[in-house]
Structure 1
Amino acid sequence: MVLGTMSSAGKSFVTAGLCRIFRQDGYRTAPFKSQNMALNSYITADGMEMGRAQVMQAEAAGIAPDVRMNPILLKPTSDSGSQVIVNGEIYGTMRAQEYYTKKQELIPYILKAYHALAAENDIIVLEGAGSPAEINLKSVDIVNLGMAELSDSPAILVGDIDRGGVFASLYGTIMLLDDAERRRIRGIVINKFRGDVEILKSGLTMLEELTGIPVLGVVPYLPLELDDEDSLSERLSRREAAAESLLDVAVIRFPRISNFTDFEALEQVEGVSVRYVSRRGELGTPDMILLAGTKSTMADLRWLRQSGLEAELLKCHEKGVFLMGICGGFQMLGKRLCDPEQVEDGGELRGMGLLDVETVFRPEKHRAQTAGMVSCLSGQLELLSGCAVRGYEIHMGETVYTETAQPFAMLTDGRKDGCVCADGTVCGTYLHGIFDTPELTQKLVQLLLEKKGISGTTVPAVDFAAKKEQEYNKLADLLREHLDMPKIYDILNSWGKMP
């Protein structure tokens, strides 16, 4: 098990890196996180919903994402409540206190998923959540050392030195554990180090003497183009376009933004700068504005309106700036949102009125991987006509088209997807991951460059899947160089013999 002293210490990436190393060394390996809290989710081939961090780790392990890798997913709907997903399907919506009292009931689901994976693999790399030393929650812990005990797993503890106080956080975490828990911690990793490691060595020695636990390595800081967890992602702090960029793409950072991983493929295109905007003064006049998915479409549309960002978006639209919405962002661009069954806030809400669709929310969640082809479009999006598209759908709204509405794409199952306005300046789709399709992304960037008056620039198609493979190998190389892998294998081989 990979534990961290805090959220964003690097557990997800260390887990992914170990998955890739074990795979390279010939072991059948799978990731596992019993409970994940995230708005970035994914739909598996069989239509089940799971956290994207475990999808990233499965890719690193060279296997298909499987909902058993993340049996419980919590998707926050408010500051004190979440939709609870169990084995890929909605279990209910609960406030924090209600979930706190009931989560022990979910242990059988967790163990069934874990043991099924364990039967098919040589090594399971478990990931914890937050900190294992939350002493007010330890009695009902099902994701940190509570899960390590259920699976009888040894653990390593990761600390983030980039935030400062790493020795105190590592020592304090270990000292807040009881003796049985402490015996499971077989190694310490210091992550995101910048500088000369020689300066650290005396501190590492003292830490080992104080805790009796070996330091397995100091991992340098390395930016990687891989899926991040939710709100703590560094990419969400980007407020300005890079000075050398040709295209400025602004993503609206809703309070409940979900699946911002949709835009990582765009970030890989040379000359494209992607930034995140949460205030009207930050928007400016970008070349493209993206409205991301959201867990609470109606609440975030109200926020957009109250913050003044909607007015700024409409001004940009009048100037010809291209607007595109994905999932909840697509729903906002329509004429009206209706919630007769109180799936979200209830009642009705006027949309932005830029697309000829209306959305009615229903309790049933639509979950599917899907593919299709862009419709025969006119206006500035004509170049996209006939492009293949693929992605996954995950939404709780039924969108109704008016007679004049132009679908963005036709799916292989005969359904319409999305909508485009007559002049092609506004577009919406339900397909998460749509920019992972190289041809479509290449042509979209090309037409935006031409619209801006930049001609003669060839936009290379980016094979995002191949790019991620390179990043996983880079991560594995980093860990091999800076972690004591023989010691980690020794921990794996000797754990069952420990008293």
Structure 2
Amino acid sequence: MKKAKKLMFQGTSSHVGKSILTTAFCRILAQDGYKTAPFKAQNMALNSYVTPSGGEIGRSTVAQAEAAGAEPIVQMNPVLLKPTGNSCSQVIILGTSRGNYSASEYQNQYSQKAWASVKESIEYMESHYDVMVIEGAGSPAEVNLKKNDIVNMRVAKECNASVFLIADIDRGGALASIVGTLELLDEDERALVKGLVINKFRGDIKLLEPALTFLKERTGIPVLGVIPYLNKLGIDDEDSVSLQEIPDDHVMRDIHIAVIQTPKISNFTDFDALNHEPDVNVRFVQKGDLLGNSDLIIIPGSKNTTEDLLYLKREGYAKEICELAEQGTPVIGVCGGYQMLGEKVSDPDHVESQNDEVDGLGLLPYTTVMQGVKNTYQVHFDCDDLPFLDMQFKGSDLKGYEIHMGETTLNKPAQTLFHITSRSSKDVDVNDGYINEKHNVFGTYCHGVFDNDELRRAIINALRKRKGLSELPIQFRYREYKESEYDRLADSVRKYFDMDTVYEILRNE
């Protein structure tokens, strides 16, 4: 059986653009008629997603699969590490949680067990696709981590991938980082590097040409692309570090939404669609920031609900949120945020932390108990009556996904929000979420609620009406927007990459 061809993007450090360029080539190769799929052996991120089969993988890999027009599967990201705090991570293998491990436990013991799942996934991917676009992690030249590497050069050697080494010129030191990285690689590893890439370039390319010549002469490897700084790409990222890069255009819009950026925030892409609405400002509130006069407060998902709840209390946000909610300010909690809105969060088996029990915000009448079994589903749900701010929204076949380890139980009657009709393609009859009697506070386990255009606009219009503003029709279609952004990214990279050489490399594999 003919095996898939492989291109691999590695970086001189973290956050140099590996994910974005992998996404770009997934789109380019798919546009050119190849059955293409992304692959990242091991990912460390709190931003995750659920595949149709119910497995959990990194969100950036899902974006790459979308760009390739491929259904996301667990083999695309066989190992996912979700930090829980104190140098500890939840280890997810082929979409299923295998428990929490310290950094030393994982590196010295479990990573090599995980390698078997990586090899199994490579074999599967090789036989089901024409081209694999592989993403590394961090740098391949970290000598202290190389022994237990299962994501960079070990993967490249396992499948004989052609490697492109990326450096971020925007942060400075790009030439030194490229030369230094190559110097630290073994000879057989350097032989796999077929091209160099300068990313996030700003300025006159003519001024850079002497540097490009130097790199070719010094390393013997050509620079195949000088990619300009691409601004405001609407593509999911893997790391909350990217929240620090959201540009502030200083345009004051009608609606102001504050998202509490807790230390263990997860699935921050839940709010991307809101951020692209032309009448909405989304602000991520970090430690020391004021909530201010926000039209809506959102408490996001969390990888460690009790620790983030204690953070809200310690920093004074819990008291302020409760006072504002009592005064009528709308508050929404998603997943971990939904759990925090209740009266109590218990973790008797220390599934997420060492905290036995923490009092919640008390804005909704339920208790959550953490359990060892993780719920991961893609869901379809209906909404017969969402009276948030008395807007009474009705909708059917809405889409989202669940990722949580807690079970929430009412302490007294409350109105439910959504009716889940399908979990991972299986028919179910499950109610999700609750809203308070004043109709200004609600919570849900469903991630991706705001990705539904009609529901998102209904919530924004309810906020507009509360301020005496006129309602607006749907302003933008989120999924259409994402598809156009994949195309824009692909067009930009094609323009600045030596595609003829890339296809020659593929032909010679």
Same fold (TM > 0.5): yes
Q: Provide the C-alpha distance between the structure 1 equivalents of 2:105 and 2:279, rounded to a whole number of angstroms.
A: 48
The CA deviation at 1:375 is: 4.2
- 2:30 is matched with 23
Compute the displacement of 1:489 (Å). Answer: 1.2
Provide the aligned length of Structure 1 versus Structure 2.
493
1:2 alignment partner in structure 2: 9
Q: Deviations over 1:64-120 (max 9, x none)?
A: 111100000000111411110000001221101111112122222111111111101
- Matched residue type, 1:55: V
Q: Which residue is equivalent to 2:306?
A: 298
TM (norm. structure 2) is 0.94
- 2: CA distance between counterparts of 1:215 and 1:232? 28
1:356-395 matched pairs, under 5 angstroms: 356-378=365-387, 380-386=389-395, 388-395=397-404
Higher mean Cα deviation, 90-99 or 237-246? 237-246
1:153 maps to which residue? 161
**1:324 counterpart = 2:332:** yes
Preserved CA contact (<8 Å) 1:242 1:273: no
Q: Is the 8 A contact 1:4 1:129 kept in 2?
A: yes
Alignment of 1:212-227 (within 5 A): 212-223=220-231, 224-227=233-236
CA distance in 2, matches of 1:312, 1:62: 44
Shift in CA distance, 387/427, structure 1 to aligned 2, threshold 3 Å:
farther
Distance 1:376 1:33 in 2: 41
Q: Return 5+ residue gaps in structure 1 as ranges.
A: none
Q: Distance in 1 between matches of 2:391 and 2:281?
A: 24
Alpha carbons 2:50, 2:376 under 8 Å: kept: yes
Q: Distance in 2 between matches of 1:182 and 1:238?
A: 35
- Alpha-carbon RMSD: 1.5
Contact 1:280–1:308 (8 Å) recurs in 2:
no
Amino acid across the alignment from 1:482? Y
CA offsets per residue over residues 233-257 of structure 1, 9 Å max, x none?
Answer: 1x34559784331111111101011
Deviation at 1:55, TM superposition (A): 0.2
Partner of 2:491: 477
Q: Aligned pair in 2 of structure 1 residues 20, 208: CA closer, same or farther (>3 Å)?
A: same
The answer on whether the counterparts of 2:302 and 2:337 sit within 8 Å (CA) in structure 1 is: yes
Q: Flag the 1:381–1:118 CA change in 2: closer, same or farther, 3 A.
A: farther
Code of the residue aligned with 2:82 in structure 1: it is K
Separation in 1, partners of 2:466, 2:249: 18
Q: Which residue of 2 aligns with 1:77?
A: 84
Tell me the distance in 1 between the aligned counterparts of 2:344 and 2:384. 24
Equivalent position of 1:447 in the other structure: 462
Match of 2:207 in 1: 199
User: Contact (CA 8 Å) 1:405, 1:421: kept in 2 or not?
Assistant: yes
1:253 equivalent in alignment to 2:267: no
2:4 match: none
Equivalent residues in 2 for 1:282-361 (5 A)? Answer: 282-344=290-352, 345-361=354-370
Residues 84, 92 of structure 1: 8 Å contact kept: yes
Distance 2:394 2:323 in 1: 27
Shift of 1:9: 0.5
In the alignment, which of 421, 433, 436 is matched to residue 418 of structure 1? Answer: 433
3-state SS, counterpart of residue 414 of structure 1: strand
Q: Structure 2 matches for 1:124-273, cutoff 5 A?
A: 124-223=132-231, 224-233=233-242, 235-236=243-244, 242-273=250-281
Q: Taking every aligned residue pair, what percent have the same amino acid on both sides?
A: 45
State the SS of the aligned residue for 2:191. Answer: helix
Residue 505 of structure 2 is aligned to residue 491 of structure 1: yes
Determine the C-alpha separation between the residues in 2 that align with 1:260 and 1:379: 22
Unaligned runs of 5+ in 2: 1-7, 422-427
